[in-house]
Amino acid sequence: MASSKETYCLCGQPYNIGQFMIECDCCREWFHGSCVDVKIYHSDDIDKYHCPKCAETYGPSVLKIPTNNHRADRYEIGAETRASQAGTPAWVRALAARPLRPTSASLQQMRPQHFTEEFVRDNGFTRPVIFNTIEGLDMKVPNAATFNVRSVLRYCGAQMEVEVIDVRKQSTLRMPLADYVDYFETPPEHRDEKVLNVLSLEFTDTKLVAANPLSWASSHQRITGPPQNTGLFLQ
C-alpha cells in the first residue's frame, strides 16, 4: 500500500517541521537546505532561490544587494541617514579607531589560591580575572590540544540543534551543530560579514555529561535535600 504522506526535495522524504527547508521561486517545490547546500543563516541573503534543476534553465539563485554596512539589516531601504548600530562593520571600525583603556587597567591578575568565595563576596566581581595557571583553582579545564569544537561535535552529534545568535541582527535561530561547526571553522574573511555566536551549549543528555549513577537513595535525596547528580554546563 502506497504511503499517503506527501514527499519533497531531491531525497523524496516527507516534510519535517524540525528541518530547515527552502522553496524554489521557479518550480515552487520545497527542498531541505542540507540536500541543496543552503545554510539557514545564508537563506536571508537570497532574493530568489533556484533549485538545482531550475538553475539549469533560469540560472543560479539571485542574491539580495546590500544597501549599507552600518545597520543591523544590511538590506534596509533608506539607511543612508540613519545612525550606525552596534555590531555592524562600520560600528566595529569606529570602535577600533577610538582610544581604549589599557588591558592592564581592565583586567585583574590573581593567584588561583586567592580567588575564593570569600574574595568574590567581599570584593565583588567587577573585572575579568586572569590566572597564569589553573593549579590551585580546584577545577578541571579541557586540554585544547586534545579537546576542541570537533570533539564537541563527535560527542553531541551532528544533528543536535543549537541556539545561535546573529550578532549583527541581534536575532536568534536554531541550526544543526554540524552547520555551526562548519561556520566556526570557516576563516573570517569567508564568512560574508556574518558573526554567529553560541553563548552556551547544554549537553546534559549527551555523552559529555558527568553524573553519578542513579539510585533510589539519590533520587530520594534530590527531593528532600541537595541534588546528588550533577550535569555540566559548557560555556
Residue 210 maps to a domain: no
Residue 124 maps to a domain: no
Q: Could you give the C-alpha distances from 174 to 41, 69, 104, 178, 191, in angstroms and in order?
A: 9, 25, 38, 12, 18
Residue 51 maps to a domain: yes
Residue 75 maps to a domain: no
Residue 186 maps to a domain: yes
Residuewise pLDDT in 10s, the chain (235 residues): 344 567 789 999 888 777 889 999 999 999 999 999 999 888 989 999 999 999 999 999 999 999 999 998 889 999 999 999 888 889 889 998 998 877 777 888 889 888 888 888 888 888 888 888 888 887 777 787 888 899 999 989 998 889 999 888 888 888 899 999 999 999 988 887 788 999 888 877 777 776 555 554 544 444 444 443 333 333 3
Q: Work out whether strand 129-130 and strand 108-109 pair parallel, antiparallel, or are unpaired.
A: parallel
Whether the CA torsion 23, 29, 31, 37 is positive or negative: it is: negative
Which one-letter amino acid corresponds to residue 164?
Answer: V
* Domain housing 28: 7-63
Residue 71, Cβ neighbours under 10 Å: how many? 22
Separation of alpha carbons 171 and 165, rounded Å: 6
Whether the CA torsion 46, 48, 49, 54 is positive or negative: it is: negative
Contact 36, 11 (CB under 8 A): no
Domain count, the chain: 2
Separation of alpha carbons 10 and 26, rounded Å: 15
Residue 46 maps to a domain: yes
Residue 128 maps to a domain: no
Domain harbouring 50, CATH code: 3.30.40.10
Residue 24 maps to a domain: yes
